[in-house]
Amino acid sequence: MTRARRELVDPETTPYYHCIARCVRRAYLCGQDSFSGKSYEHRKGWVLERLEALAAVFAVDICAYAVMSNHYHLVVRLDRERARAWSEQDVMDRWARLFSVPVLVTRYRADETVTAAEAEQARALIAEWRERLCDLSWFMRGLNEHLARRANEEDGCKGRFWEGRFKSQALLDEAAVLTCMSYVDLNPVRAGVAQTPEASDFTSIRQRIAEYAGSGGNHPPDRHESQGPRLMDLDGTSAGDHPNHIAFTFEDYLQLVDWAGRAIREDKRGAIPGRLPPILARLNLSPEHYLRHVRRGGRSHHVAALGHVDRLREAAERLGRRFLKGLGQARRLYQMPA
């Protein structure tokens, strides 16, 4: 049974979510349609352009992305504290960049409201916008509706472009975020459309590598060197704990993705390559089951959340549910108690 999004997304439990949206029937998000011979490659640029625009407005960080032929993956972080720190003027300016602003708020913005009731109503609208600007559903709405309209206009048709509402999976701890990010970044390698992570077009790993090289090895780089949406920094030296901090560096992440990518290309099922990345041990991840997740991760996206068994139980209790599907997978993925 389909659950309400509020039962799947709870920023108090975790701000990290893996989102997937897939096109309906033979609709192409991008890529080459072998049936008609038509190329939709240019639509990949639409996705990155829109992500860049949304990331500049919403209090949502993009951790990882991969744009495939008929679907895309996103790993995002909802930053409610950042949204709460914005002034009313900030909220109005941001909202106006993407959505229409009613006359009432326009008048309030210009300090032209006549009565206290009008001003109070305007402030209530601004408070609602503040919540929406750090809301996963509104972020995904701003992405999917925009892409659907552009694609339908180009195709000269009407109706659904997306298979249904986007799927979301809560990532409950740092190991879950790491595992899911690497799964997303390795999508083109696993699909056989790229040989290496750095050759995987329209992925966050390619963008991170390009930014890192452009900055002379200093991470994070200057924004003018980036080609794509602003990505969440990977900085293992910062103070703080999850859920507002990721305790692995870009170098850690690159080493792990490269190691996993080689294993996928070699397709040595049942074999674990040598020289395991140290981050696997630091986050208590089983190398065997981590690789299994990256190779066959699509099957795990049917679970509502990914994380240690204890975090799954805590999340279920917070959401008022007896359990969350995925306990067996969690027991296999984590080698020891967190």
Instruction: Give the model's pLDDT for residue 1.
Output: 46
E strands, the chain, in order: 16-22, 60-67, 71-78, 167-171, 305-306
Sequence-separated contacts (24+) of 192-195 with Cβ below 8 Å:
195/265
Regions of the chain with pLDDT less than 50:
1, 223-225, 239-240, 242-244, 268-270, 337-338
Other C-beta atoms lying within 10 Å of the C-beta of residue 78 = 22
Q: Which residues fall within 8 angstroms of residue 37, CB to CB, at 6 or more apart?
A: none
Instruction: Give the model's pLDDT for residue 238.
Output: 52
Please write the tens of the pLDDT for every residue from 102-140.
999 999 999 888 799 999 999 999 999 999 999 999 999
Instruction: Give the model's pLDDT for residue 294.
Output: 83
Q: Contact 136/63 with Cβ under 8 angstroms?
A: no
The CATH number of the structural domain formed by 5-79+135-333 is 3.30.70.1290
Instruction: Give the model's pLDDT for residue 97.
Output: 95
Instruction: Give the model's pLDDT for residue 70.
Output: 86
| Domain parsing of the chain, residue ranges | 5-79+135-333, 83-132
pTM of the entire structure? 0.86
Please write the tens of the pLDDT for every residue from 86-105.
999 999 999 999 999 999 99
CA distance 232 to 65: 11
Closest to 263 (Cα-Cα) out of 290, 238, 237: 290
CA distance 261 to 255: 10
CA distance 249 to 141: 31
Closest to 106 (Cα-Cα) out of 116, 95, 117, 98: 95
Closest to 63 (Cα-Cα) out of 52, 47, 77: 77
Residue 307: left (phi > 0), alpha (psi -120 to 50), or beta?
left
